[in-house]
Amino acid sequence: MTVPAAPATIGWLAAEFGAPAGVEAGTTTRVGGLSRGSLSSFNLAAHVADEPLAVAGNRSRLRAALELPSEPLWLRQVHGAGVAVHDGRALEPEADAAVSFEPGRVLAVLTADCLPVALASGDGTRLGLAHAGWRGLVAGVLERTVAALGVPGAELVAWLGPAIGAAAFEVGGEVRAAFVAAEPADAVAFRPNERGRWQADLYALARARLARLGVTRVAGGGECTFTDAGRFYSHRRDPRGGRMATLLWRGA
- What is the value of pTM for the model shown? 0.95
What kind and span of H or E run contains 28?
strand 23-28
Domain boundaries, the chain: 12-164+218-250
pLDDT per 10-residue tile (average), the chain, 252 residues: 50 94 97 95 96 97 96 97 90 95 97 98 97 98 98 97 98 98 97 97 98 98 96 97 98 80
What pLDDT is recorded for position 217? 97
What pLDDT is recorded for position 9? 84
Nearest to 214 by CA among 130, 155, 142: 155
Give the orientation angle of helix 202-212 with respect to helix 141-149, to 10 degrees.
40
What pLDDT is recorded for position 91? 81
Choices 3.90.700.10, 3.30.43.10, 3.60.140.10, 2.40.40.20: CATH for 12-164+218-250: 3.60.140.10
Q: How far apart are CA 41 and CA 204, in angstroms?
A: 30
Cβ count within 10 A of residue 215: 22
What pLDDT is recorded for position 31? 96
Give the up-direction half-sphere exposure of residue 214: CA atoms within 13 A in the CB hemisphere. Answer: 10
